[in-house]
Every structure is written in structure tokens, then in C-alpha cells.
Structure 1
């Protein structure tokens, strides 16, 4: 912690050296945002796709201003889009991770008050800070002068990922000498969260200073971070949930000396800083220039094992009762039935049996020590660190009251550092840096088994790097221009963007499976990007309008997906191209004294997409990379929302969305095993598979009532059409061919083989409510109290998603092949009944 605090101080002192971005507003309005708790429901795990509208919301849109919070317990993604298709800016500088495309919510965890001043726009909404992304954009204003002067103290209690939170924020406001200062600090904690074995320990800070030199110039500096340590929850199978008698069984922990210990722990810290120069050239022309810096330290631990050691995961399929005999189509022997009953009894009645046996892992390593052997079990930490610099400059010019244009340039330079370290040898004294899967195939004498050929058979200790070590470098440049006008009820805009992306891998280890192309540079892949969008809106009168928007974009592939097997070698995906995105929407908007809302129909088509899966292949007992190229998808649907003011104090809000998001072709694939140097060309039968982990249909009806400072809300939400993440391995042509004679049709598809269907999860209902009171005290002080209740009916059967395991589980039933691997899929469930109490005091 001393090291982290020192880094915070250094970063803040260095911020003036950065160059600078947005307009200084002279009036700061008091907000009552204590009544929103979106942050408390944000999923911060990088291994689960995140809601792209949790931060990207539009205050002027009934639909977008509600769905990010209302549907967040189900990880809802607007239009089925992953968060890589939305943008998050700070003072006009984009902070998305350019490798994955996503924004890390952990970057601002616990900084609710510091990030309240934000502008959200929909995909075709005009603005003054960006061209705009297909998933929408948001800009968080971190200028010190924009925070309400005074102090604010917040205390929260809940039964979610953390159980307690405290925040303190102080701002001077803009003083007579032209200076403004703001600071915010927070802490979130749980010895154990609402899921057994999880914990939470997070500190957050925000410091900002601004100098307004005169009416034309101001300079602002800000730095922030949220060092966090948290234990993770793991998904499991329905069999394990049934035996544990809970849908919240967590296989990631176990007892060690009577204390709970989690094997999967995330440590993250992303100290960031921005500098912004606001230049009001005149009343019609404004220039905003910003520079941003981020150093991300992210590590996630996991159990590892070598040699002939048994899999230590408690819910590994061979440890479950169903593995004792084929429960789907065979009759057990007396011995099998006896063993089945014994294991079932242990699972159901002995908690320690269904958790990680840490004491056994230490004992196994002690026995290995006695014979001079390597560690059989260990805890490794996978690091994805990153150093990023961003620069942005935006010019806005109002030609007259009806016509204006905006132009901007942006630059990003990112170095992603990916490596693995030995976190804990679990009582062992030695470990050799070789690949355990290659040893099985080639023996100890082969150079192929070496993870680092330049240091063969290297003995490593705790804290040492091993396994893999490589960097990904990405450089992005772009420029955009937008023109807006209105005339006689007709509003229109047209905008264009051009840019480029360069990326390369630099290996720091010479791998034995790819000795000639693992160390050093991969060479640079270059992509030219461009986009155009246009829209018109016709206002029939002050209350009704119809709008039509369309866009086309060529987008560089993400560096995360661009390499076939990045831990091993430098090879790019074959025939790597820019992704093409074609989209459009038609909306009817209505606004009145009683009713306001909109209805929208949209369509998007994605071509030339690239996706990469990395997983342990249970069938073949080796780690596998599967890279798909040339993916095509369609997203389309209808969004509708309306608020009806029933009385001066009571309003009714209805929201509905029906969407489709699916693969429309069978993409080519390249399969690479970590224990081999060669790759195999294949095909994935993905056509018709839906995007997973989000409800494709969701409906909400809510009542809001307020009177004399009291706020009441009751909302019912229904979720439908949630699909399980399908296994690409199970739909590989080479896997399916085992059940056919190899005959293909004119389109190259296998004849006589049914592709396994994707599992659709059951829909479900969730009832939420909140009650709050805002109290104005003397001398400008105020007190706000809010209690938020989620899943009041305690629906514990509502699945938020999950995934198929990468095993080919099927059997022959006469002439028919029956797929039973849906029984072995792993699921996530929505939190049971939970509450969040928030008390804020402003003084």
C-alpha cells in the first residue's frame, strides 16, 4: 500500500506536465444524484461482457436514461452490443482499452461523486466531444470548478459485492482568484460479500485543480485511481448447484487451517491523470484540448498444477456423481451405484468436500519436496498491465443560430504487458518453467517443452515470471468532422471520420513450440479506418418528431483478437481485415405535458469480425486457442419507452425492447494447441447462434411518486430470451465430422450432421423498489437518505448467463446422436434479494 500511495502522489505532481480539454461552465447546479446506485451494480469483472449503457445514458431519452440502471442485475446490453462498441471519455479524452475495446469500470470504482457530471449521447446524437460510436458515448467532466462547493459525506450499507462504503468529497468551487480545487476519497469493504468466499477491499481517490486565467483560457488537472483487491465468484453446473442446495455455490474457495481462502483473486490499480486546456476563442468558436495518461496494473490469480496431479477444482466433472457412470443411457452396476450414492452424500452434506482442499494441496507438495520433485500445485497470477497515453483536441464553431460544425483529432499510444508470475508455491520449494502438456507428448528431453529457450529448465520462485511474457503495442490516430443545421422544422447532420491503427506483438521469451517466431517483433499490421453517418429529424410541432439515421464504418480489428496464439508466437490471424459495420434507425419521438417517450426500430450488420477463444480442452487435455475470422452478424429490433404523468406527483414509466443479435454465417477458424507449433484450419458452425449473456427481450413497468421531499419507486421487470454462450469447439467441423461420413453440400456444409442447438434460458420476473427522503437544512446543508431494494420476491432461479464447457459430451442412441453437454454447462444467477442503504450529508 505504501508503494501505491507513493505512486498516487507522483502521478498528481506530474499532471501539469501533460498537455490538455472542455468548456468551463460558470454555474454549478446542486444534484440529488444520491438516489442513483448504478455503480453498486456494475460488474467490474473483465471476464464477463459488461453493459455498454451502464455509463452511456442520455438524460433526454426515456429509454436510455432508465435501462442502464433498471436492467443491470441481468447484465443487459442495449441492442446486444458488447461494451467495445461504446466510448467513455474524461474531459473529451477517450479512456477505452484499445486492446479489448472496452472501458474498465474499475478505473472509477467508488468515485460516484467525482463522476456525476457526465453527458451521454445515443449513437446518432450530436455533441461537442466525439464523432460517436455505434453503442453510444459518454463524457465525464472532471474540471474542479464544475463540482458544487462544500463538503459531502456519504455512508452506505448493502449486501452485494461489498457490504459497506464511505465517501468524502470537498470542493472549493470557483474562487475569486480563479482557482478551484476538488478532492474525493472513498472506501468499499466486505470481509465476505453476498456470495460465499468472496471479499472486497477497495480504496479510491480523486484530486483536481483548475485555474481560470480569464474569460478565454483555463487549465485543469485531475488524477484518480481505485486500488482494489477482491475475491471472485465462479460459475458452476446445475448438478453442482443442486448438490450444494444453492444457485450461489462458489467453487473458487476452500478452507485452509479453518479460514476461507479464494483461489481467484483480482488485484487491480489504474492510476490515471488528465490535463485540459479550454480556449474560448470568441463567443462562437471554442477549442478544447486534453491529454490523458493511464498505467493499469491488473492481476488475476488461479490454481495451476503439473505432472500427473489431479485437477484440484472441486466441481471438476470427474469429481461429480454423474461421472461415475453414464447416467444418460446406461444402467449402473452395484459398485457404481454404491459409489454414486457415497459421492452424492458427501457433496450434499459435507461443505468442505465441495470446496477446494487447500490442506491436501499443501500435503501433496510436501511429499513432492521430500523426493526432490517440483511443485504439483501452485497459485499463479495472470497479469494484463497497460501503459496508455491519449491526446484529443476538438474545435466547435457556431456559424449562426441554425448552423454549426465540429471537428476533432485524437491520438492514442498503448503498450499492453502480458505475463504470468508465481504467486504462491503452496509449500513447495521449486518449480521448473516448462510446458506440462508438451512434456506428456514429447518427453523431458525435447526443446519443445521449454517456455523460455534462452533459459532452459529455469527454476523459479514466488514472484518470478514464467510461462509467457509478451507486449502488445497499439497506435491509433483519427480525425472527424460534423456539420449540423436546421431549417423550417427540419434538423439534419452529416459527419465523417478517417483514421488508422497500427499494432504489433513483441515477445520477451523464446518459446520452444515456436522458436523462430515467438521472441522479438511480429512486424506491424496497419489498418485504414473510416466512417460516415448522417441523419434527419422533422419536427411536426413542438411535441412530435420523426428521425432517420444511417451509418457505415470500417473499424480496425482489436489487438486482443488479432493474434492466433499470442502467449506462444507472433502470428497474426490470416487475412486480417477491417470490420465493417452498417447501421440505421428510424424513431418517432413524442413530448408533452402528460406523455413523453419514443419508439425506435434499428438494424445493424457486422462483417469481417474476428474473435478468439482460449480454453482448456478437457477432451484432449491441453490448452487450446481458437481464432475465428470472417464472422458476420445481424442485430435488429424495436425499442419503446414512455412516461405518463398521472398526477402532479405520480408518474408511470413503461419500457420494452425486443431484439435479435445472431451469427449469420459459419466462419473460418484456426485451432492451435499450446503444446504444438502447428495450427489447424477449421470451420465453426455458428450460423443462427445468438449473442449471449444479455436478455434479448426485456420489459419494465414502474411507478414513481414524490411529495414534500419524499421519493418512492416500485418497478417490475421481466426478462426473456437469454442465451447461453455456445462452445465454438463443440461446433468445429473437425469435431462434427466424427459423426458423419465427411460429405459436404454445395455450400461446404456437412451433410447428415445436426449442429447442437444453443440453450435458451428461462425468462423471469424481478420486482424492485426504492424509498428516499431529501431534507434541506439550515445554511445550505442537506441530508439525503435512500433505501433501494432489488429482487424483492427473491427469485433465485433467474439465470443471467453462462457458458457451455468445451467438451464433446454426446452418445449414440440407436441411429441418432444425442447431445447431453447442456447438462454440463455452467451458469450465473441474478443476485437474490438485496438492499442498498445510502445516507448523504452535504455541508
Structure 2
């Protein structure tokens, strides 16, 4: 008994917590988890979920099956990996965006009941649908025969991004004639949750049909879509949050004729379809072949301004009190102090002052109309549309009781369509398709100002494309095989290999004046040979304890999103573009006894030859900027631990924790390009030692679960630490550091003063849930679940942020008025919020 108590204490210290695995509770948790992933953990710029998909769905792993939902309010990413390293499959077909590498959760938003059948795997887990990615993989099963017969009606309410959700799902089950049909409809609506200016409107549909011809053959068809319109939130500086008296201030919206209007609206519709053929060759052989299609129409709006028009953003740094004088060093003049106090008073006491002034934008355009001048302000919609076809076929052979192998092939072809169009001229009558920055630098008569040289000075109306228009084509092919064996049940092992290729090219639809010979037509094709190997060994000491050792190496083609220096204006590939190298492994101790189960894992991963691209408006240069880095090296390592203790038959205690490190291991080469120029400048970014951003590198949780008579209760405390903000690569360019002045070492030699990376304060969050599963007559049932997040209303917990891309020196520190960084912007975890889910199955 003392030994058991000692082991429990050790595990408790190593792995502080989680929830139990009862079926009703699992379903309720998935409802809430999908809500969190789909709507709340969206990156501001690319709207991609920042959490690894396998987290929600790996039901046989205490750690992976829980951390996705548990830590989602802090945008947690397993091992600090970007979500491009996690694969999402639907009916065996991969649906990651091949340009960005990431899966858009908006593709299946609002289809929680239809997408509940999932299989999730970790980086080295054996499976029957993929070679596997370093961040794990998930396969969603949409075969109509896999749904239980009957109907389910679900109603949900919350105070997050949407406030109401309704879903209805009906399935026939597999009928005597071999047919099965399943359909689902959903609607999500919100006229502001806990962030002002964010409206939400989304419809979702799913239809599946399957014909089982006999014991050997079946054919499945599935189609779905989720047309969605939603407003976005923007991060802000600490100064703006302080003046607005809220960490949930959103500068994206303002009043127009007394009504709220958000400048950043995302419109997304991705109708998709899959056809799958299952062929059971015999009792030991199976072939599954699937073909998938997706058309993505994705646009996000943003304010634009022209000529000498002032920046309309209410939180533009020159409109803040701190721009009047340096509150740390300067002694203000009486005029400066008066102006400072007036601006501060307006920010604090006049809500309209700190929001967009739509009426003023319309008035400015009206004045321009009267003078026959160009629009000063407008709303553009930037499109990243996509047409994708995927083919996947997997052969599974159970050789004998101890040996099996799986082999698969996959083909993808994708056309990405990138352009922007005029959404709203805000009452203006004239807009010409020229580059305003090039006009400033080269004059109105220069050909360099033309965005489309073949249609110079083209007048643009609402709905017209302008600025840029290009396509990115990506083709991928791969084949893989995995062999798995065991030795009398105590020793299990696998070895797998993969080989593939990727081809990509840009096809410009406009001849740009800054790059007349490099913008129109094809860039030529870049080709990459890919491959990888994995192996794993598991040794079961006995039925309760085992060790697993895994290792792998992969050559991976760079993402098309990062492969071009300035894709909006020209065809140039990144210099010395190479395949990315990934190698690493992990060692795990698993334990499963009558009173405790869990695991302890140590891991290490090294990335080489990575490529990253930043595209941003440069305040210092007053023009759009591209900054491409290549030859990046990173290393990720750490410890993961989880354990569930069965205290009584109704009460369990779960502890979970991770301590990890993820950082740059070198100073990568860089190319700097301005959209108003045709030249690119070679440089270097001093990033060595800087950390992965926007995710807690340390996270710990302790949970109590109580289950009795169909009721379940959960109370969870989570602590997060070591969250770093996204550093500005522009501020760490060698040329920028030289301009800002170099320091001197002990020997008098010049040394670059590379800015450090801001680490955010750690914080605690308390969550709870209560639920009830009620069985009714004739197989009917009711499920109730209420989840409460951030019960203590910790409104000071920052989930991440980013430095603005300016090269001016700035400081962090305390002032009498407020504490803030003049440059960095931050995101905060939601305040106290609730999610109520009611399901009725009949």
C-alpha cells in the first residue's frame, strides 16, 4: 500500500490533470471541443485552427484525447507544432489545404453530430489510413451505414462567438435492401457574444448515402457544406485595452448611421463531396478507395485607403496618447500635455472615438466626388479560393495472427485562386487600379504604378477584381507501406516507409508594372522528391506496464504558401528552395492498473530547411512588404505526462501536464521585397533562441470527476505558463538592426542589439461541467450538458500576441498612466463563459 501511495504521489507531481472517459461525458465534451476549435481558436490573419486535430479524437490515449479540449481556451498546440504538421482525413481522403498545409475547421463547422465518428492517432501510432504526420492525424468516418438509426435534435446556447445553435440529424441505419441514408442540418447564429462587433451567421448541411451490395462490396457517397459569414476580432495594444477599459476591445467595428458595422467580415463556403468504395477481398484482405472534391470560396474584407487619406483605424499608433510624447523619457510641453489629456479623455469617455467612424469615411468620399477625385476609402475583399481533387487507396492485409501490412497511394491536384475585388466603394464614384505606393515613389506617369499593364488606369467598380490576380497550382503524389508484427504478445514493432513528389507553379493573371517580365503567365515548375521512414518498438513488461520507443525521418516539400518571394506581384521562387527535413522520436512509459492508468513521454524533434513568409503593411516604410526566410532550423523537445486515479467507483482524479521547449536554432537567410518595387534585398534574420509563439509551452491540469446514476460532474483547474508572443522578423533583420545602432562587446567590437522575445505572465483558469444522460422508453434518450469555462473570470490571461512590424525602438515598462508595450498587440482568453447543450435522440 505504501508503494502504491508513493507511486501515486510521484505521478501526481509529474502530471498535474484531466477527465474520465464515460461515454455520455465524452460526447458532451466533443460537442464543446468542436465549438471551441471551429470558432474560437482562429488565427487573426489566416483563420486556421491552431490546435492539432488528433487531440480531440485519440480516445485510447489519456493525454492526447483530452488536451485539445482542455487547453483550447489558450490555443494550445501539442509539442508546439504548427497545425500544418497534423493531417485531417475524411473517409480516408486528406483534406488539408496543400498551399498552407493546414485544415480549415470551418469546412465541417456546425456538423458535430455528423462528424462524431472519428479515429485519432499520435505521431507514431499504427493505423489503416495514413503514413502519419509528426503532429498526428485524424480520420472522420462519414459512411452512412455507420450511424445509428433514428433522429437526433440538438439545441445549444452560449455567450462566445455565436449564441445559438440548432442541429437535426436523421439516419435510416443499414436497411434490409442494403441502403443507408443519413442527413444533417445545422444553423448557428450570434448577434454578438462576448466580443463587440462580431456577428455570426452560418448554415450547415450533410447528406450521406451508402449501398452495401454484398459482403464484399459497398459504395458510399457523402456531400456537405457550411456557408458562413462572421465578423472578426482584432488584437490591440495594452494602451488601447487600458483606455477602452476592457481586454476585449475590438477596433474592427464602428457605427454607421447608428448601427454597428465590422470592417473585417469572413465569408466562407466550401462545398465538398467524397465517393468511397470498400472491397473486402477476403477475410484477411481489404481495399478502400476514395475520391474527394472540394471547391472553396473564401473571402475576407478589409478597409483600404487611397492617396493621402489618413489611416482610418481607430487604434493606429499615431492616434494614441503615447504618440504625442514619450511617457517614459520626455518632459511634455504645455501644448503636448493638453493634447495628451484631450486624446486620453476621448479614448476613455467617448466610445465612438475609439471605433471606426464609417460616417466620416462616407463623408470624405462624398467630398472627393464633388472634386472629381478618386475614392479615399473603400472596403476590399481578399479571396483565397481553391479547387481541389484528392484520390486515396489503401490495401490492408492481415498476413497471419502476428504479422500484417498496410500500403497506400494518394494523389492530389489543387488550383488556388488568389485575387481581391472591390466590395464597397463607400459612396465613391471613381477608383483606378494603380498602386498608391508606387505613385508616391515613381510618379503618376510611370508604368510601374500599373497593377495591370495590359489594362492601364482601369476604372474599378464594386465586384471588380483589382490589385492582384494569380493562381497557384500544386500537384502531389505519394505511396507508403507499413509492416507490423509482434512476438508472442510481449514485443510489438512496426516499420514504415513513404515516397512521393510535389510540383508547384504560379500562373499570373495580371502583368504588373513593378515586374512586367515576371508577373504574367507561368513561373515554371518547382519539383521536389519527398520520402520518409518510421519505426517503433513496444515492449510489454506485463499486462500493466510497457515501454514504447519510436523514431522517424521525413523529407517534406515546402509549402506553396511560403515558396514565392512576393506572389501578388511576381513569379520568383524563394532562393535555394529545398525540401524540409524532419527527424525525431519519443520514448513512452505506459501504465494501466486497477487504480491508475496513464503515460509518461519524452520527445525530441528537429526541423531543418524550413521556409516562412511574412506579408504585412509596413508602418515605418508606409508600404506593403514581403519578408521571406529560408534555411530555418528549429528544435522541439519536452515531457508529456498524464494519469487517471480511480479513487472510488464513482470518483476519479486525473492529472496531466507538459513542459516543452520549441525554438529557432539558427539565424536564417532572408529576402525583403516591397510591393511598390521590383528589387529584392538579401538579408538575415537574427532569430536564434526565440520561441514558438501563441501556445503555452508549459500547461498543467488537475481534474475531479464524479459519476452517479447517469449524472456526471467535473471540476478542473488549469495553469498555463511560458507563452511567447510572435516576434517581428522585420525588426530582427540585419539591415534594420544596423540602422538602429549596434552595441560594443568587452573588446570594443560592434555587436548587434537583437531584441528579446516577450514572455507573457502565466495564469490559472477554473472550469466545470455538469451533465445528465436520461434513458427513455423505446430507445429514446435525452442528454444534458452545461460547461462553464474561466469561472473565476480571469480577464488578464493573455493567449498570445504579436509585435507590429515597425523598425522604431520601443520599450516596455511602467508609467504612471498605464503599463504597455507601444508596439505589441495581444489576445486575451475569453472571460467567464458557458455552453449549454441539449440533445434528444428519438
User: 5+ residue gaps in structure 1?
Assistant: 1-28, 814-819
Deviations 1:596-644 (A, max 9, x none): 0000000000000000000111111111000001000000000000000
Deviates more, 1:51-60 or 1:425-434: 51-60
Alignment pair present for 1:41 and 2:36: yes
1:126-182, Cα deviation, whole Å (9 max, x unpaired): 001110100000100000000010000000010001000000000000000000000
Distance 1:744 1:752 in 2: 6
Q: Hey, what's the Cα distance between the residues in 2 that align with 1:350 and 1:125? A: 57
Alignment of 1:208-357 (within 5 A): 208-357=208-357
Answering whether residue 373 of structure 2 is matched by residue 373 of structure 1, we say yes
Give the corresponding residue for 2:16: none
Mapping of 1:674-753 within 5 angstroms?
674-740=675-741, 751-753=750-752
CA distance in 1, matches of 2:124, 2:749: 42
Residue 114 of structure 2 aligns to a residue in which SS?
Answer: helix
Residue-by-residue CA offset, 1:344-374 (whole Å, 9 max, x unaligned): 0000000000000000000000000001001
Once residues 150 and 228 of structure 2 are traced to their aligned partners in structure 1, the CA distance between those partners, rounded to angstroms, is 28
Structure 1: 4+ residue segments shifted above 6 A: 29-32, 741-746
CA deviations on 1:278-331 (whole Å, 9 max, x unpaired) are: 000000000000000000000000000010000000000000000011223110
2:100 paired residue number: 100
Query: What residue is the counterpart of 2:19 in the other structure?
Result: none
C-alpha change, 1:40 and 1:286, in structure 2 (3 Å) is: same
Q: Give the match's secondary structure for 2:230.
A: strand
Instruction: Kindly state the Cα deviation for residue 33 of structure 1 after the two structures are TM-superposed.
Output: 1.4
Is structure 2 residue 632 aligned with structure 1 residue 641?
no
Q: Is the counterpart of residue 804 in structure 1 residue 799 in structure 2?
A: no
Per-residue deviation, 1:750: 8.9
DSSP-derived class of the 1:239 partner: helix
Counterpart contact for 2:50–2:77, Cα < 8 Å: yes
Q: Is the 8 A contact 1:54 1:72 kept in 2?
A: no
Report which structure shows greater RCO (CA 8 Å, sep ≥6): 2
**2: distance between equivalents of 1:778 and 1:501?**
56
Maintained 8 Å contact 1:655/1:700: yes
Aligned 8 A contact 1:54 1:69 in 2? no
Partner SS for 1:129: coil
Query: Which residue does 1:187 correspond to in 2?
Result: 187
Maintained 8 Å contact 2:579/2:609: yes
Where 1:422 maps in the other structure, the secondary structure is strand
SS of the residue corresponding to residue 343 of structure 1 reads: helix
Contact 1:193 1:200 in 2 (8 A): no
* 2:168–2:186 contact (8 Å) kept in structure 1: yes
CA distance in 2 between partners of 1:823 and 1:67 (Å) = 34
Question: Secondary structure at 2:772's aligned position in 1?
Answer: strand
Cα offsets for 1:69-89 (capped at 9, x unmatched): 000000000000011001000
CA change 1:314–1:542 in 2 (3 A) is same
Query: Does the 8 Å CA contact 2:55/2:69 hold for their aligned counterparts?
Result: no
Determine the structure 1 residue equivalent to 2:74: 74
Specify whether residues 418 and 315 from structure 1 end up closer, same or farther in structure 2 by C-alpha distance, changes over 3 A only.
Answer: same
| Equivalent runs, 1:251-650 vs 2, <5 Å | 251-488=251-488, 489-650=490-651
- What is the SS of the residue equivalent to 2:224? strand
CA contact (8 A) 2:24 2:783 kept: no
When the two structures are superposed, what TM-score results if normalisation uses the length of structure 2?
A: 0.94
Q: Is the 8 A contact 2:49 2:105 kept in 1?
A: no
- 1:785-834 Cα offsets, whole Å, 9 max, x none, are 11000000000000000100111232799xxxxxx994320000000000
TM-score, normalised via structure 1 length: 0.94
1:23 alignment partner in structure 2: none
Deviates further, 196-205 or 800-809 = 800-809
Task: Flag structure 2 segments of 5+ consecutive residues without an equivalent.
Answer: 1-22, 813-818
Partner of 1:59: 59
Q: Distance in 1 between matches of 2:375 and 2:580?
A: 45
Indicate the residue corresponding to 1:669 in structure 2. Answer: 670
Equivalent position SS for 2:399:
strand
What is the alpha-carbon distance in structure 1 between the residues aligned to residue 392 and residue 56 of structure 2? 20
The answer for the alignment partner of 2:655 in structure 1 is 654
Aligned partner of 1:25 in structure 2 is: none
State the Cα deviation string for residues 99-147 of structure 1 (Å, max 9, x = none). Answer: 0000000000000001000000000000011101000001000000000
